[in-house]
Structure formats: C-alpha cells, structure tokens
Structure 1
Amino acid sequence: MPTVIGREKLISRASRAETPHTMFATLATELRRAVPYDAAVWRATDPETGMITSPILAENIEDHSCAVYWQYELFTEKINLFRDLAQAPVPVASLWESTGGEPSRSSLYRGFLAPRGVHDELRAVLRVDGRPHGYVSLFRAEGGATFSTVERRFIEGLVKPMARKLRSYAKQLPEPSADGLIGTGLLLFDAGGALISANDDARRYLEEMPEGPTSVTALGIRIPLWVHGTAMRARAIAEEHGRDTARIRMRSRTGRWLVCHASCLREADGRLGVSAVIIERAPVSDVTPLIVQAYELSERELEVTQLVARGLSTGRISEELHLSPHTVRDHIKAIFEKLGVSSRGELVGKLFTEYYEPLAPGSTGRQ
C-alpha cells in the first residue's frame, strides 16, 4: 500500500542520484514497490516546448516501440495527452479512469497497448513552476488491477520534487572537450518518418548522444527517440498548420549542450514532403534560461541578473526596475548566494560562459 512515508523515502533516494538517467532508474526501482507496474517509459522534456529530450529510460519495452507509441501521441490520440496534462490542475491520469472503464475509446489503446497485452496506463507530467521537465508512462498488463485513485495520488506527490530535481541537473558543468565539433548536422526524414539522408556532421553529433531508445535506419544509423520525435513533431505541426516550434535542447554524453530543431517541407503542389532536422551546438541564449531555472532564481532576480550581464550599475538597475538601490543590492546578494559566486564578473562567467563552452584540457579555470 502506498504511504506518505514511503513516498518521502523514494524522493530522498531519487534526489541523491547524480544524473537524470540514474534518477529515472532509482525511481523505477523504488516505485515498483509502492505502485507495481509491468513496463514503463521515463522521459526528460524541454521545459519550454514540452517535447521529449534526453535522457529516456524504457523498461520492458522495445526501443522501436517507443517511437511507435510517440506517433500515436502526436497524430491520433485524444485522451490524456501529455501536452494537456502539462496544463491540467492535476498532471496525472490513468487511461481506465479517464475513459470510464472503456479504454477502447483511445486510439493508443486500440493500436498499441491492447496488441501488447497492456490493460491500463498511468501518465504523469513532472512539473514545477508551470513547466514540464519530464513525462512518465506506467503500464499494467491484462489480468492485473487497474491503477487506483490511491496510487494516482501517490504519483501526484512525486511530480513537483522530481521535476525540481530534473531541473537542477542543468547546473552540472560539461566535461572538458577539444574535439572541435562545431558544424551543423542535417538529417532528412521521409513522410513515413524513415531517415533517407544524413550529412557527416549529423553522424558525428549522433555518436555523442547518451544511451536511450533508438530506431535503426536503412542507412545503418541509430536515431535517438528525442531526435526522431523532433522530426515527427515538425510533421504534426505542419499537418495542423500550427505555429508551434519543433525544438529541443539536449545534452551529449559529455554534458555538452546541443539544440535540435526541425521543419516539415512542402512540395510544389503544397503536399507535405520531407522533414529536415538540424543538430548543432546550442547558442548561449538557449542554455542560459535552463541554468537560471536550475538555480531557482525568481522572476525579479532574473531581471536583475540580465541587467548585471549588460554591465549596468546598481543605480542604473534601480532606475530600470523602479527599485531602491538597497533592494537591488539585496537581490544581487541573494543571486550570488544561489549561484555560489562572489562578484558580478563571476556571475556573468558562470551563467554565460562555463555552461556553454567547456574549459579546455589543462585549463586552470577563470583568470
């Protein structure tokens, strides 16, 4: 039986994990004792776009099935969509409960879950401060009980602390690297989602990807689900004529920040054609918001930080924000404490340099 004490122990153990992948693995091991399940997928997400990114941990489910599952999420499913749960008052729901005991109303159930012997699915969005940092799917096989209200509420209690922990990993510095990988990777996917072309830079970036579910292609290249998902999302946006962006930030095996974005092209007659996916080094403007969120700066502290980065004095900042100089100094002091720095130069270096460009081997740090 799930208990509050059991949940607190689970949170404590998972919070000691050194990497997001290890956190997912710890959660999986500990959670099975309180809320038994037969298979699961744990995914990190980009907090701005809500799209899946690295890492992803799949339990008792084949790699290629993860991509098929996500196709239903993007193109046909209408029940318990992750993007809807991310905005819902309670970001946790079970398929059985949401369909009133009629899971066949779900296209995912009919085409994916039922053929694999899955009876019920419990979904959760790991969310903090209104932003999704992870998606969880728990599956139960036929013959077992459906997920109960007590179990759903137990999972609800994990949402915020585990999202906060996922967010905090952005503070980890990349490993020093001198490989000079700075090109633009390009991959092309056909209308069916199959990879049809990739340049050399894309192949090199893919070699840097962390472990996780992948799809094997006819080109002999393994495509991580988060990259493939970006291509699928671009096509879904084009089909809906939406204005969303198929874009994620992700980290390589060495912790280097990369950005992956995609767009679906159209033929001369207006039909949708190939999807082009680009992978490249993430610009500092993409990395800094994640670092700021990881250190849990308030909106006001973020405003002050941005003005400090522009080189404004305390007096100028007080004028810009209509605050007293004393209040500005208090904000700066709080910012220094959160980031563990002691000067404005150190603050700017930490947010706008260290996480973006790793120190070269043999470097002794800032001068």
Structure 2
Amino acid sequence: MSTDARQRAADKIGRLCREPHDLVSLWQETTEVLATAVPHYWTPCWYTLDPASLLMTSHFHLGLAEFPPQWLAAEYGEERHGIVDVVRSATGLSTLHDTADGEPANRERWQRNMTMGGDQELIARLRTRSGEVWGALALYREPGAAMFDPAEKEFVATVAPALADGVRRALLIGQAGEPEYADSPGLLVLNSACEIESASAGVRRWLCDLPDGDWDREKLPSAVVTLAARAFRHAADDRPGEVLVSRALTRSGTWVVLHGARLTSSAETRVAVIIEPAHPSRIYPLLMSAYGLTERERDVTRLVLQGASTTQIAREMTVSAHTVQQHLKSIFDKTGVRSRRDLVAKVFFTHYEPRFRDNEQRVTATKPVRGGPWPTY
C-alpha cells in the first residue's frame, strides 16, 4: 500500500472518530478502513479499558459473542504480552512474535490464538494525546501470512489517538442516551439558530445547573451557546470534523466538561453538545467503600492495577519502597488477598467482569456499551 493511500485511510479513520457514533458502529466502520491499510485475519478484537485502572470493561469481536472465561483468567494472571503490559510499554504497540523472539509456540496465549486460527497477534493501546487510555486493539494473521511490517505498525500507532478519542466520545453518547447514574452525561442537538432539536433524558439537570440558563424558558446557558457557535463557525470554515472542548463551573460549584461537534448525518448543519461531570473515575470511591481503603492505599491499588512495580509506585507517590510495601500489606489484609496478582484478579472479577459480561449482552441487544466498573447502588 502506498504512503498516500495509508494517509487517506488514516484521515478517514480520524473523520469517523470525530463524528458522533455508538461504539459498535464506530468499531465496525473503522474496521473496514483498517483492513485496507493493515490486512489481517478475520476481524480485530476491540477492547474498552477504564483509564483509571486499565482493566477491561468490554470487547467486540465478530463471531465471539462471549469471551471465554479461561482467557480472562489468563489475562489477569501472570501471562506476558497481556493487554496491560502493552498499554504500559514505552511504545504502546507490540506483537507476540516480537516478545517471544520469533518463537511464540511455547506461549499459552499463542496456543489459544491458534484455536481461533490466528498465528500472529499485534496489540496496540488506544491512548489520547492527553494521556488517557480508553481501549486496546488486537489484530491477527493466519499461519503463513507475512509478518506485520514497520509501516503497518506505524499506521496503527498513528491512528491510535484518534481511535481513543472516538471510544471516549462513543461511551459518553451511550451514557447520555441511556443514563446509568444521576450525573450521567447529557446530550443536546442544536440547529443553526442554536435551538434545541432533541435532548437526552438527563440533560435538563445540567442546563439548570449551568449559570444563566433557564430550561423552562428554553434559554440555553452561555457556555453551551458559545461552544455551539464555535462549532458552527468551524463547519463554515471547512473544519467540520473538529471536536471542541470547554469547561464550565456550575451553580452548585462543580466543574463540567462540554464537547461540541457538527453532525454530518443530514444536509442541514446541526451540532451535538455533550455535557459531562469533570469528576475522577468511579473506581476510586468504590475501592474505599468496598474495602475501607485509605486515600493512599487507594492510590497504591490503582497503580498496582495498572501494572506498576514497587519502584514505580514509590517514585510516583514520592515515598520510599518500604512505605509502599507497608501499604501493600494493609491492602492485602483488607481485601483478603496474598499477592498483587490476586489483588488485580479480585478487583477485576468482583468489579469489572460483571460490567464486561453485561456489555456482551448489551452488544447483542444493540444497546449502548458502558464504561467503568460495575455500579454499586
């Protein structure tokens, strides 16, 4: 494939990721483009990850409606070349053949892949340019196929940030369309006169909480109008695909993030505005309430889930390795585990596997895919 053709494919994936999509549609449409630039066996396996813990929240693989339980157990065991290993690596991209020095046959992961007909496996993290990891992509090739070459790896690395942004936006749209929490995101669709064409169920509370807005009088907050106006100007300036982001302080004293982008599904110019709370991940309060962890223990747990070593944890938290070990001992006692591996497995199978399995059913039922850990009500 020529350099120009790959650039066109990358540009098309970028455009798809900037448009409002549900997650499954995004995966399906980008898969079609990806196949032209990086030929692969059968179909990719797409994953969403919780940026706070790097634990999997969903997967999408045509023909594999249910992820085998033993594969999940291996992923969160001591297996090398797992998703978290690649996500935390310097490059964020790796092949199983590379990590096995070209001899992967003795790896259990390779043996499992071969049962599905895949010899080679390439894993890439989907990380935004601001540093948040929202997913991972796995591509396969059948026995006898050419190895993934440097140009193909470079292409995947190039489109990964756009894919990460697309995942984040699709999850937001899903939560707005079918709210799960009281503070779930809200979605507005505005016409060129900044009049509301449609609104999600949960958007009213956000519009009422933003300064100078009045829902009953159909007066939009200035933060929404300003963002929408910028999006309309960008569309007029032939920059229709750009996603705009702004922050606003609500009347109740919390910050919200607003995303604005032009909709391209009709001839008339319309803009979608998503409003979401600027709060930390839901895993933090969950860990503290479920196990009675302190804030420091919570932070250590988060880094353990992300695959950090004792030295890395000590460096990030600006404490000694001995202090980290003391925190770990307390965490193990409170969670009833004996090792880091057991801690990761307990958090995943207690708080994330239910989400993972529910998302499998939601995909089958064409419902929005959810992110984050399983909710505790």
TM-score calculated relative to the size of structure 1: 0.48
If the length of structure 2 is used for normalisation, what is the TM-score? 0.47
Richer in strand (by share)? 1
Q: Which has the higher contact order (CA 8 A, sep 6+)?
A: 2
